[in-house]
Amino acid sequence: MSGGMSKIVKTISNISFPLVLIYGLYIIAHGHLTPGGGFQGGAVVASGCAMILVAYGSIWTMGKIKEKHLSILESLGAIAFIGLAFLGLIFGFVFFKNFLIGEGLIFDNPALGLSDIYTAGIIPLMNFAVGLKVIAGLFAIVLVMAYATTKKEAETK
């Protein structure tokens, strides 16, 4: 696995990776309307990244992206998530308040004619934050474990 797999696998994964990516992003974006959400879509995208990892081998992938960048990305997603909760504390005076719904800020505002759009307030934003977090997190786990094991094999060889 250290050297990656055959050319067929690499080509197929190259072709199918964007589709997986788009499908996962679709699931994340429609989390409040259709089945799915940040975690599910993030898992889909992370599995796509894991496919690339399996096809090209962990050493090549580690050369492309380090796990510390992934952990930075993940903590950014987590900070965005908890930051939205703190914004609820600031705007809605309650921690985790869905401050875009029913507060007449932007949505649910008859004057703007946006009252009957089911935008779910901050839920899509939270979905994106969690999606970013799950993508980075799961891919970091898979990458680190795969890299550690392959490095061990390379040492024994």
Q: Which residues contact other proteins by CB under 8 A?
A: 31-37, 39, 67-68, 71-72, 74-76, 78-79, 81-82, 85-86, 88-89, 93-98, 101-102, 107-108, 118-121, 123, 126-127, 130, 133-134, 136-138, 140-141, 144-145, 147-149, 152
Per-residue DSSP letter, 6 = -
State the chain's maximal CA–CA distance in angstroms. 71
Shortest distance, position 116 Cβ to other proteins, whole Å: 9
Cβ closest to other proteins, residue 17 vs residue 108: 108
Between CA 44 and CA 7 the distance in angstroms is: 24
Count other Cβ atoms within 10 Å, centred on residue 157: 6
Measure the CA–CA gap between 52 and 40, rounded to whole angstroms: 19
Output 10 or 66, the one with its CB closest to other proteins: 66
Q: Is 66 in contact with 139 (CB distance < 8 Å)?
A: no
- Closest distance to other proteins from the beta carbon of 137 (Å): 5
Half-sphere exposure of 146 (CA within 13 A, CB side): 26
Which residue's CB is nearer to other proteins, number 7 or number 116? 116
| Min dist. Cβ of residue 8 to other proteins (A) | 29
The least CB distance from residue 138 to other proteins, in Å, is 8
